[in-house]
Amino acid sequence: MLAYMTQWDGRYLVQTDSFYPSSNRCHACGYLSDTIPRSVRQWDCPDCDASHDRDVNAAKNILKAGKAVGTGADKLREHEKTTAGHVEG
Ligand SMILES: [Zn+2]
């Protein structure tokens, strides 16, 4: 999986690759499970009992990682507004 978040002017770029344990880390409590086979779509965290959809959990972890390195969530929202304006225009 390759995912990135970028600001309009390109000053901020957050990139995670397949080595980032986004699928098998509980986004709720941070528990890191053993590698989960790709065939497993749903798993429960043994630590906090949260139930995870593999992809949703991974997406939340990547978002968290992006925020953690200081992308600035408010700036990303500005970027999204700008982009939406272009699409509508
Ligand atoms: Zn958990």
* CB-based contact 50:44 (threshold 8 Å): yes
Ion ligand 1 — residues with CB < 5 Å: 26, 28-29, 31, 45, 47-48, 50
Q: Where does the pLDDT of residue 62 fall: very low under 50, low under 70, confident under 90, or very high at 90 and above?
A: confident
- In whole angstroms, how far apart are CA 39 and each of 49, 53, 66, 68? 21, 12, 26, 29
Give the range of the structural domain holding residue 77, as residue numbers without chain letter. 3-88
Q: Copy the structure tokens of residue 49.
A: 């009992």
Continuous segment of H or E residues that includes residue 53: strand 51-53
Over pLDDT 70: what percentage of the chain? 54
Distance 76 CA to ligand 1 centre (A): 27
- pLDDT for res 13: 58
Among 31, 36, 71, which Cα is nearest to 47's? 31
Q: Higher confidence at residue 19 or residue 78?
A: 19
Averaged pLDDT for residues 37-53: 93
* Alpha carbon of 13 to ligand 1 centroid (Å): 28
